[in-house]
Structure 1
C-alpha cells in the first residue's frame, strides 16, 4: 500500500483519479485536545482493484500541500464519496474553505435505501460487500509516526470497501429514482454555515432554567468569550470552562479574581490570567446590556397548542409511510416536527421537497380530515375520504 508524502505524488494520483466518475474519501483525525480537528491521515481510492488505485496521504509530511486534492474536490466531473461526512468536511472547510462537490454520503443514501437510521460503515460493508472490517486500530493515535501496518490496513479499508458500498447504493437509487432525495440532503452538507461556529450564537447551546433577560445576557457574553478564546487558542471549549461553571458564573456575577476564587465549578486555571480577565469582562458586559438588547430564548414551541391525538395519528402515518417506502423514519421527520404539524405549523422540513411527496401531502390531508388511517392485513394504509 502506498503512502503519499509529497505534493508531486499527490498531484499525480489526483490527476489519475480525475479520469474516473468517483473517488472515495475518508480521514483520520484527533480532537480530544484541540478545538479544531487535527488532520492526521487522508485515504483516497478510485474505481478498480489495482495496488495503486487506493492510497494513504500523510498531511503531516513536511512540505506536503493538499492543493492537488482541493482541485480534485472542485472537479464537478468526479463524485466525492464519504460515509458520515460531516466531520471530514469540516476539516477541509476549516483548512481551506473547500467543500467537495458533487458530494455523496453513503450513510444518508443507506437511510434512503432502507438500511435503517444512522447505519454504520461496518454494517454496510458486511451487508453489501460481504466483508468484515477490523476495528482494532480505530482508537489508535493517528498523529504518531511511523504508522503501523495494522493502522494502514485499517485506514485503507475505509475507502476500498466504500467503493462497493457506493456502487451498490448508487445503483439502488437509480432503480428507485431517488437520487434527487440524496441530492436534497447533501444541500446541508454543502452549506458553509454548517461548519461555522459563531461565538455570537454560542449561548444558544447552553441549557438554563432561567428566562431572565439579564441572566441570559451574562450567559451570552460568557459563551461568546469562551467560544472566541477556544477558537483563537485552538483548545476545547470545556478546557476554558464547562457549561455548569458558565451557569454558576452567570448566577454569582463575580466582580474580581477573589470572587472567582470562590467559584465551586470553575477550573483552577480559569481563576487567573487571560481567562479570568475575560470572564470578568464578559460578566460586566452582560450586566451592562440594555434591556432592548438582552437575548430572549425561543419559547415559541412551548406556546404551541399541540393536538395530541392528531400527533399520534401522524406518528402512525409516518411509520406506515416509512415502512412502505423503505426509508428510515427519522430521515423523513422527527417527533418535534410531527408536533409542529399537529399544532398547525407548516414551515417544517417534513412538508418540503421529497419528504412532501412521501409523507407531507398525506400528513396535511390527514390534518384536514381528508385522509383516514385503516388496517389492511398487517399494514396501515391511508384512505382518501374525498
Structure 2
C-alpha cells in the first residue's frame, strides 16, 4: 500500500483521480486534546483499479502541501464520496475554507435507501460488499509515526470498500428517483454555519433549570468567554471548564479569587491565571448588565399546546410512512417535530421538500381531519373522510 509523503506525489494522484467520475475520501484525526481536529491521515481511492488507485496521504510530513487535494475538491466534474462526512468536512473547512464539491455521503444515502438510522460503515461493508471489516485499529493514536501495517490496512479499507458502496447506493437512488432527497440533506453539511460556533451564542447549547434572565446573562458571559478561550488556545472547552462548573459559577457568582477557590467543580487550572481572570470578568459583566441587555428565555416549547392524542396519531402515521418508503423514521421527522405539528406549528423541516411528499402532506391532512388511520392486520391504512 502506498503512502504519499511528497506534494508532487499527491499532485500526481489527484491528477489521475480527476480522470474518474468519483473519488472516495476519509480521514483519521485526533480531537481529545484540541478544540479543532488535528488531521493525521487522509485516505483516497478512485475506481481506476490497480494498487495505485488507493493511497494514504501523510499530512504530518514536513513540507507536505495539500493544495493538490484542494484543487481536486474544487473540481466539480469529480464526485467526492465520504461516509458520515460531517467531521471530515469540518476539518477541510477550518483548514482551507472549502467544501468538497460535489459531495456524496453514503451514510445519508443509506438512510434514504432503507438501511436504518445513522448506519455505520462496517454495516454497509457487510451488507453491500459482503466482506468483514477489522476495526481493531479504530482507536489508535493516528499522530504517532511510523504507522503500523495494521493501521494502514484499517485506514485504507475505509475508502476501498467505499467505492462499491457508493456505486450501489447511487444506482439505488437513481432507480428510486431519490437523488434529490440526498442533495437536500447535504445542503446542511455544506453550510458553513454548521461548523462555526459563535462565542456569543454558545450559551444556547447549555441546559439550565433556571430561566431567570440575570442567571442566563451570567451563563451567556461565561459560555462566551469559555468558547473564545478554547478557540484561541485550541483546547477542548471541557479543559477550560465543564458545563456543570459553568452552571455552578453562574449560581455562586464569584467576585474574587478567594471565591473561585470555594468552587467544588472548577478544575484546578481554572482557579488561576488567564482562565480565572476571564471567569471573574465574565461574572462581573453578567451581574452588572443592564436589564434590557439580558437574554430572554426561550419559552417556545413551554407555550406549545400539544394535543397528545394527535401527536400519537402522527407517530403511527410516521411509522407507516417510514415502512412504506423504506426510509429511517428519524430522518423524516424527529419526535420534537411531531409534537410541534400537533401543537399547530407549520414551519418545520418535515413539512417541506421531499419530507412533505413522503409524510408532511398527509400529516397536515390528518391534523385537519381530512383523513383517518385504520389498522389492517399489522399494516396501517389511510382512510379518506368525507367532508
Place the TM-score, normalised by the shorter chain, in its bin.
over 0.9
Matched residue, 1:290: 290
- Whether the 8 Å CA contact 2:6–2:64 is kept in 1: the answer is yes
Deviating beyond 4 angstroms after TM superposition, the runs of 4 or more aligned structure 1 residues are none
Alignment of 1:88-127 (within 5 A): 88-127=88-127
1:229 aligns with 2:229: yes
- Whether the 8 Å CA contact 2:212–2:297 is kept in 1: the answer is no
Matched residue, 2:131: 131
1:150 aligns with 2:150: yes
Matched residue, 1:370: 370
Q: Which moved more, 1:89-98 or 1:376-385?
A: 376-385
SS of 2:52's equivalent in the other structure is coil
In 1: Cα distance, 2:358 partner to 2:383 partner: 15
In 2: Cα distance, 1:365 partner to 1:274 partner: 58
Matched residue, 1:325: 325
How far apart are residue 297 of structure 1 and its match? 2.5
TM-score in terms of structure 1 length = 0.99
SS of 2:95's equivalent in the other structure is helix
Q: Which moved more, 1:10-19 or 1:376-385?
A: 376-385
In 1: Cα distance, 2:71 partner to 2:47 partner: 19
In 2: Cα distance, 1:297 partner to 1:124 partner: 43
Alignment of 1:1-386 (within 5 A): 1-386=1-386
How far apart are residue 289 of structure 1 and its match? 1.2
How far apart are residue 167 of structure 1 and its match? 0.4
- Whether the 8 Å CA contact 2:4–2:10 is kept in 1: the answer is yes
In 1: Cα distance, 2:14 partner to 2:49 partner: 17
SS of 1:374's equivalent in the other structure is strand
In 2: Cα distance, 1:313 partner to 1:323 partner: 16
**Matched residues, number:** 386
In 2: Cα distance, 1:165 partner to 1:48 partner: 16
SS of 1:16's equivalent in the other structure is helix
Unmatched runs of 5 consecutive residues or more in structure 2: none
How far apart are residue 375 of structure 1 and its match? 2.2
How far apart are residue 382 of structure 1 and its match? 1.4
What RMSD, in angstroms, separates the aligned Cα atoms of the two structures? 0.8
How far apart are residue 296 of structure 1 and its match? 1.9
In 2: Cα distance, 1:26 partner to 1:56 partner: 10
SS of 1:52's equivalent in the other structure is helix
How far apart are residue 258 of structure 1 and its match? 1.0
In 2: Cα distance, 1:129 partner to 1:151 partner: 21
SS of 1:3's equivalent in the other structure is strand
How far apart are residue 290 of structure 1 and its match? 1.1
How far apart are residue 288 of structure 1 and its match? 1.6
SS of 1:43's equivalent in the other structure is strand
SS of 1:220's equivalent in the other structure is helix
Unmatched runs of 5 consecutive residues or more in structure 1: none
